[in-house]
Structure 1
Amino acid sequence: MRTQQDYLQRTEILDFDAPPITRLIDSRGWRQLPAEQAARAVYEFCRDEILFGYNAGADSLPASAILAEGLGHCNTKSNLLMALLRALGIACRLRAFTIDKRLQKGAMTAFVYFMAPREILHTWVEVELHGQWVVLEGVILDQHYLRAVQDRFSNCQHAFLGYAVATPSLAEPAVQWTGRDTYIQREGIARELGLYASPDDFYREHKTNLNGVKGWLYHNFFYKLLNDNVRRIREGTPGSQACNHQSG
């Protein structure tokens, strides 16, 4: 049986007492904010100031390393978001899934997409506010990247699956802070893997997405190609492309 303290603990991945994390929190004045305002500030920081991208290391990178790298995806942004929330005394937990790799089509280069498994590990953070658990999956994509995808498929009027997005509405995805659940990839979920007090617990049980030869290739070559591709999307020309990336 989990206790409130389980959702506030420091772990190897959630190293919220690391000096860079402490300096960030102090410089932003987040400790002086009420809990919900602090949670919003941390969420928006992780969403927009930590750019969407593919980290050099595994999904189990410590939060301080993700902050130093300045970019992340669903799993690594979850690590940093949880560490920042817990540093502020705000309880949070991890919910884990697999997602259909089709939602990564376009964000991944063609060869890496081909090499990826059909189902990819996916996590989101749930934060406790006013006695309720609020989903913060909308943290994954920075606003510049998301707008670039929206511009590229500006005529999309239906559910969208691709470019690291899986949402019923590309024009109005539920990513803005309202104090309620946020989502950007939920429609791509294949299987639920359960609730965890920390990412450490989850990765001890399920390892990471990067193992063996594929992991070696990713760490040494693929992640740079992926980030170059994401950068091109983010900086791309507004769209006139047909919206072919839809669910089903």
Structure 2
Amino acid sequence: MTLADQGYDLHTAGSAEEGLKILKESPNFSLIISDQIMPGMLGVQFFAQARKICPNAMRVLLTGYTDMDAIIEAINSGGIHLYITKPWRRDELIYSINQILSRAELLIENQQLNELVKKQNAALLELNKNLEEKVRLKTLNLEQSARELKTSYERIQLILEGAELAMSKIVESRDPYTAGHEQQVAKIACTIARSMSLPNVQIEAIRIAGSLHDIGKIAVPSEILTKPGRLN
């Protein structure tokens, strides 16, 4: 059985120059096999150039030499993945080629997985960046809303304090005899509230209530409020 019988697409060249030309025209070969002794250049020299054209191809060198220095040079300069010494048995050669092609397929799959992981990581980084930006904008919006709410609260407080003072003055104007009475009641009530360890919010409500506890006097006619004698 030959490699062609196993369904491989084979391309042959009669010289190193012709082989390099074929590689340049279609640099997507999975496997390159070369003899060490060829017309024009050695197999090591051929692979040194072929490696630049097809960096992902597996490279197999056929050699009749058993000199380890020559083999090491071939591995270092040409990036040889496998060397096979002559003479070889056909079944052993085909087996070795099948093994190295399987290795090539695994390398390709690994590269594809790495590319996929890189793309997914890039997508995740972009997604994370978008989420961080959304969180940042949301935080800014919340901070702005909090500032606006605080400003509104302070404005309402001023309005309430103004209304409280105005109502207190109106009550005093209706009954000058008790002027300052509301403030004294509020002061005493707050002192009692603090001694009871009530919350500040509740103490403030008590103060306002004390300041306005005589507000009903506004609806009472002046002649009744200022009458010197007993009411009947």
* TM class by smaller structure: under 0.3
Which structure carries more strand by proportion? Answer: 1
Q: TM-score, normalised by structure 2?
A: 0.24
Which structure carries more helix by proportion? Answer: 2
- The structure with the largest alpha-carbon Rg is 2
